Structure 1
Amino acid sequence: MEFKIYAPVDGVIKEIDKCQDQMFADRMLGDGFVITPSKNKFYSFFDIGEVSMIFDTKHAYGFNVKGLSFLIHCGMDTVELQGEGFDTKLQVGDVIKKDDELFSVDLNLLNSKKISAETPIVFEFNSLKSYSIKNLKTGKIKQGEEICTLWYEDDKTAEPLPKSYDIVDFFNVSNKYEKAASEINKLVGGKNNYNDVYNCMTRLRFNIKEKELVNFEKIKQNELVKGVLWNGAELQIVIGQDVFKVKDEIVRINTSNEVIKNSIRVKKQESLIKRFLLMFGGIMVPVIPCIVGTGLVQALVAILTQSGIMPNIVLKDPVEGQSVLLSDAGIGWIILYIMGKTTTIFSGVIISVSAAKYFKYDPVVGAMLGIILCSPLLFGNGGELGIGNDFILIDLGKINTGNPMLDKITQIKINMMNAKIFVVIGAIFTAKHLDKWLKSFIPVTFDLVLRTFITILVVAPLAFFGYGIIWNFIEVLFGAIMLYIGQIPLGIGVGIFVAIWQVAVIFGVHLVLSLITFLDFMTNGGQSSFGMAGSISVWAQIGALIGVIIVTQNAKLKKHALGMIPAGILGITEPILYGINLPKKRPLISGVIAAFVAGALAANMGVTKRAITGFGIFEAIGYFSEPSLGANGDLAPVLNGMLYLLACLVSVSLGITLSVLSYKERPNEKTLLNKTFKKLINLISIENNFDSKDKKELSQKLKEVIAVLDSETIKEIKQNEKSIQKYLKQKEKLNTLVEKEAKLKASIISKGKRLVAKEEFEKAEHLIKKYNLIDNKDKFNKFNIKIDELYKEIDFDFLDNKLSRIQKTIMNNLKEVPTINKTLFSNLEPIVYNSLHSLMIYYGLSENKEVKINFAEMVAVKRQHIKAELKINN
């Protein structure tokens, strides 16, 4: 096939290899020619074609002409003008004919800014079998004049393969982008050799740590790679318009084995409490999908039960006409019931596997220990709370304190560990270290036989008769205290009970609160003011989450938070708690305060929970009924239900308000430095036995050290933060679009593979056509152009160089402080770096440096030494 190309504007034409931009000159983006315009208006350079792409800055355009993709790029570095000087009336999808106006450019503006007006016009040739640019006219040319003829032979015109082979190949060949991504990822030195991977319109970019680890030549040999170049520490790999697919595959490869990366790695500089919370999050966050999935099944069971479609299945003591024993229900309903209930009852097994992974212990052995600790053989009929039977080991006699929870303290019980999160985690932690010790001396010959055997013999009894008994004792004390607190008048006690509920959920002791609710429910004839705690506190945490969504400018966090709301509405708060509210702290606190206020308000209004009708939004139904055991409620059913809804509205509204007012995206650089220096002052004061005057002088010196980080610098950092947020927002939008396309294509591929296996090639061929119609390339290109432009708006020179200079000044000033010794000084450097570069670190554009000191531990050790010295002296 061939067609004619015409001059789009008056000017001078030259060969593409003479272009000022090396990327175009090397034909990385296609072959063609360059024209330097002498007039402002550009016209169509082909007989007929379609507009496929318009850059936001209107300096570059894509066209589909006779099956070829053309790109016209007006000027060099004109993207920096942000659209100034360019104008067009074109829209994507417009059909263009010869001499139709394309766009106009202000050449005087380009000259005044010393920007070259050279305009490459190129077409993609990688998919062509062969092509030729015939009779290219160079030199001066007039608009509309024929300048060459383009001839090409498409691969599609080649001899077709047999249909069945073609289709099999389409559906079963490995993803070429996955292959390229895997190879490139290795050749750049692996994911540990770059801080970030991103892309612009055509280039894959890596922020490289060590250039020596990059195999430059091998990368160039990859079939998708059109060129490779360095820009400082940034490695740019020219791929073309499919670059985002390679980038997404690299990201997927890097994260496939660690979806949440066991949350957060524990670092030595964190306090004991922080390390504990980080460890807890690292174990519980991967469990969230299981909690959500089974929670939704339970919600479905609740809907079916309330609507009368499914019987209300119980494990013991069925009430005629109201519930049915598990063994008497239909097998279909039994299966649905256990689908929702089993994981909840035996959740300790999942936690044990997650803990084993976190502690880098064998997950199979971890699962085995979890099954033992949560053995169904101990479950019986579910016991008092439906979570397993209790076995009394020692009964020290009955006491009557007036607090039924405290009365149980004389009973030393053994029970299954399904809800005792910390017993399970403690058991796996013990198993890990016991296993490590056993490895050190058990001969290899007996290792397979003895190591796991000894681990079971030691860890299981220790968990049941040690950790479990201690935890039961803690639960009894906690329950007793909460029962006393709940009795504080004016609704305050109930408010505290409601407030503490979600905190109890985090640590797995909310079942103790459920027992208090159960006792109150039975005592008061089927109604309980404590029973509101579970639902009202849920709405408070949802409100706090919505507050985060309103305030945050972090697109990824916002998307993550929005995905948690449906589960929260169904009463499942673990994803919200472990995923956002607990790690961010302030949302959790906002939710707790909101729950307290709403709980106290509901208690003062006389609201009580009266019937169990499910979780989340379905729980409201039970408040519109009479007390289920025949008591007379203080409020009529409808009034009780309406006031409950009012309390929930207060809970969610106050949660939103407090979260919006208190939430901070991240602490600023000066705050982080001040925190560090306060700890430093405390340590130095103890080491040198400073009095208040010495301490004040040191504080003043360190204040002067920080002064170099002035308000103007903080202002610049905030401006850059806005630019980064805009950049990441666009990236997240693109990722969402890519995910949708990938899911749709994956679905078609999956169906196609099944059809190929059945040799239904005609149907499979139809799917190929459907697959090929999915094309968001133009949208992707628009996003990538916008992302590239927003990336350029980030002042990396300031964020890297200026902040590094400030860091150097701070470190030089710290060197002048005589009480800071060499060891302490060297350990301060990464802390100062992390504080000053916290913006880049927070948004994932840089990595934090490892800190090797812990001020709290150093202070504690120093105080112990001082006490020991005082004892010796006395």
Structure 2
Amino acid sequence: MSNYEKLANEIIENVGGLTNIDSVTNCMTRLRFGLKDNTKVNEDGLKATPGVQGTVYKGGQFQVIIGTDVSNVSDEIRKKGNFSDSITEDNSENKGIINKVLGTITSIFQPIIPAICGAGMLRALLALLVFFEWLNPEDQTYQLLNLLADSAFYFLPVILAITSAYRFKANPYYAAVLGAMLIHPTFTAMVGEGTAINFAGLPVKAISYGSAVIPPILIVLVMSYVEKFAKKISPNAVKIFLVPLIVFLITAPLAWIIIGPMGGILGDMLLVVFEFLNNQARWVIPVLMGAFTPFFVMTGMHYSFMPVQLAQYATLGYGTLLGPGMLASNLSQAGSSLAIGLKTKNKVLKQTALSSSATALFGITEPALYGVTLKLKTPLWIVVFSGGVAGLWAGLTNMRTYASATAGILALPVYVTEDMSNVLNAVICIVIAFVLSFVLAVFFVKVDSSETVEESDEIDKNIDTTTDRTIFAAEINQTNIEVKSPVSGNIIPNNEIQDDVFRNQIMGNTIAVDPIEGEFYAPFDAEVVSFFPTKHAIGLKSTTGIELLIHIGIDTVELDGDGFHSDIKVGDQVKKGDHLISVDINLVKEKGYSMITPIVVTNTQEFTDVVSLPEKKNVSNSDTIMLAFS
């Protein structure tokens, strides 16, 4: 079983099982679930799962933050069941209208974003090739590539009709037909002629629906109700042709006469708003987006702006809503995270900050947001300020994107214009955001106390000769928090852990014990916040704030609880030294599994430092194996 499959199994278990999953999709770093019953989710269990960085419920979706490997986990989950790729309607009773609307918009647009971005980058690449005179616009190679890039936008009504059908639980093939009729060459020619169009004597407004966003969504919404009606009244013997016939004959006229024009009116209203902002206050949107993108990302609202952005492209030929402001914000995340990574002496934080800074440079900011700036708080406000300042530059210089792309340094081609001034302004925006956030983080973020760092170094130098670890820890610093070993055994090097997540300390500071007996005890006074049904992993939260994961064995989830015996449950309060679980070590080993037990401080970054005792030492359940400095 692969690591991705194991992680998928644990996530499925903690979201309520396969039967509770209605749909699942993913973005750059998150799994996005449509669940039948959100009350069945075990959030504490998810947060304690190695490989899960966090969870959030926004916009009608339950989201599990994984990181850049999310697509692999998503693929494994889809293999387990016949799930929709689009988030369906949330059935929870307490879901508000705003969440419903945001959830609908997000689930319709999120699946098409990769295609739109890919086509946008192809457009940008072609613009660069023409600018440097490496490709002639009259060349058929250019024309073929250009039509490929344009297809994603020209046929947008069809694509959106399909994703809308999944959202509204309608037939996607009926929806595709209705979307296609809006851009059929005959209808397009009728609009182009400028003569009156009518259907059965009723006027049809001559509107060009190429790249239309709102009309296909509204049409499919209406179609979903017509389809239900058609299925209800059609005899089974003739449903195969009668249902689509009824759907088309009712929905199409409504689309031509009422729904399409309504969408056109909304588009005209958006155009008026765009023109006002561009002429009177063009700095407003980039400043707001540059400052508040982190909060939009946290709530999932950034996907909800996509229809407006696409409407900008359709009406104006360029975009100002997302690209410039998000470029400013994302590069601010990169600069702030880099500064923290260079400053900190905490190995886990350093690794997280440096790697997330690199991904933020390319427009993927969730690792930086959740792993660094949000947790340390001050860097987040630095990102807000720096993003707003860089966004002000973007607005004052009238920065524009001419195609959709992930807002990072590789997106510069979407700013290409004939005189390249737009690209130069984008480069300056990047420099302002990155440098300003870096400098502010260097001067105003305190990631380590120098006194604590010196004490930590002293521990590393002297701990080998210390036998009474409890006394030693008490003499060092009164602000340290002790973590006792939950089991007697031998401390082993992390590089001997046969699991990438624990070996690389992705979840937090990790120490591993190879047990010599099967009795596990509470390492401190705590609450049991998670306990897997397979009993192989226990999550504890101490009264002093430490969140600890005790993962008994490697791959032991596959034993399905065989050999594990415990009466504890989530919510129990335990005292230091209380018995937690008994494990039949011999049975586990006979079945071919390792008993090496990773012990992880999953909230490492909330402490100044977390120090592990040296490797290859024998410990009992009364010995201190970690010190956390607050």
Larger Rg: 1
Q: TM-score range by the shorter chain?
A: 0.3 to 0.5
